Amino acid sequence: MKITLLGTGGPRPDPKRMGPSTLVTVGSDNLIFDAGRGVATRLVQAGVSITDYGYVFITHLHFDHTGGLADLLFAAWNKARNKTIHVYGPKGTEAMVRHLFEAYERDIWYRLSETVLTHEKLVDIRNMVQVHDVGAGVVVEGTNFRVTAVDVDHGHGLGLSRDDWACLAYRVESKGSSVVISGDAVYSPSLIDIARDADALVMCCYLSGEEIKDHDTELITRYVLNSSLGAGKIAHEANVKLIALIHIREKPDRLLEAMKTEIGRDFDGNIVVGEDLLEIDLG
């Protein structure tokens, strides 16, 4: 199992970091978790053909985690992929993708009409992509892998209901190896449970301690986005071996180092401050 951090930034454009997206490779299967801006380009830069993935898992429906989804799907289709691509996500994912296809209805019509002259074997993308709204439990059982999900907290402490705002963390297991992708989740018992004893936890770490300066940023790091003051506690309680930090707000190198130091006060495992295209081989 290999992890490739395709995008390690957040909602604000960062010249060094694309939007949140993580590639998990299990044998010949490429699983993509979240589809932030630039995901299609980063996938190709990682050495994976744009047609060589069959699964996309969305943690939640914020634009920074889904802004590259149309590009990812349409680029694979444009290169004549005809095998099914499965997209899994929380409640609302099916509606979002359906609306994307409606927005690009003229483009779909044009490219399908063009095949009369070009004789390309282009299927209808609306049939090629199968979307599944999912919740907690087993999401998919592949030949060589298993993906499960739990509901997690990302703004719910501020009064948001899970019915209106569903957010998921995923765990991939294969042949004794495991990785958890937490999305933007803050601490919750469900996150600890799904991450327990994992080989790697890919997690949001938006701010360093020095950046938590006022009531607003305190609320953000308590209820919405992890900081380096909380990430280590989660990793320690879940007993993971390694954490890889993504969804990092643009900051100078000294604050990136400070994040690692702050996490190390609570967690004595491996700490990786994520960079785009960084690879982690779990064997």
Rg value, the chain, Cα: 19
- pLDDT tens digits for 17-37? 999 999 999 999 999 999 999
d(CA 119, CA 98): 27
Q: What is the 3-state secondary structure (H, E, C) of the chain?
A: CEEEEEECCCCCCECCECCCEEEEEECCEEEEECCCCCHHHHHHHCCCCCCCCCEEECCCCCHHHHCCHHHHHHHHHHCCCCCCEEEEECCCHHHHHHHHHHHCHHHHHHHHHHHHHHCCCCCCHHHHEEEEECCCEEEEECCCCEEEEEECCCCHHHCCCCCCCCCEEEEEEECCEEEEECCCCCCCHHHHHHHCCCCEEEEECCECHHHCCCHHHHHHHHHHCCECCCHHHHHHHHCCCEEEEECCCCCCHHHHHHHHHHHHCCCCCEEEECCCCEEEECC
Looking at residues 259-280, what average pLDDT do you find? 98
- pLDDT tens digits for 71-128? 999 999 999 999 999 999 999 999 999 999 999 999 999 999 988 777 788 899 999 9
- pLDDT tens digits for 170-221? 999 999 999 999 999 999 999 999 999 999 999 999 999 999 999 999 999 9
Looking at residues 24-51, what average pLDDT do you find? 98
Domains of the chain by start residue, with CATH: 2-281 (3.60.15.10)
pLDDT range class, residue 46, cuts 50, 70, 90: very high
The answer, yes or no, to whether residue 274 has pLDDT greater than 90, is yes
Q: Is the pTM of this model over 0.85?
A: yes
Which of 190, 191, 173, 193 lies closest to 182, judged by CA?
A: 191
Tokens linked to 147 = 């993906």
Tokens linked to 124 = 């209808």
> Quick one: pLDDT at residue 224?
94
> Quick one: pLDDT at residue 116?
76
Which of 140, 142, 202 lies closest to 175, judged by CA?
A: 142
Catalytic residues: 64
Mean pLDDT estimate for the chain: 96
Amino acid at 76: A
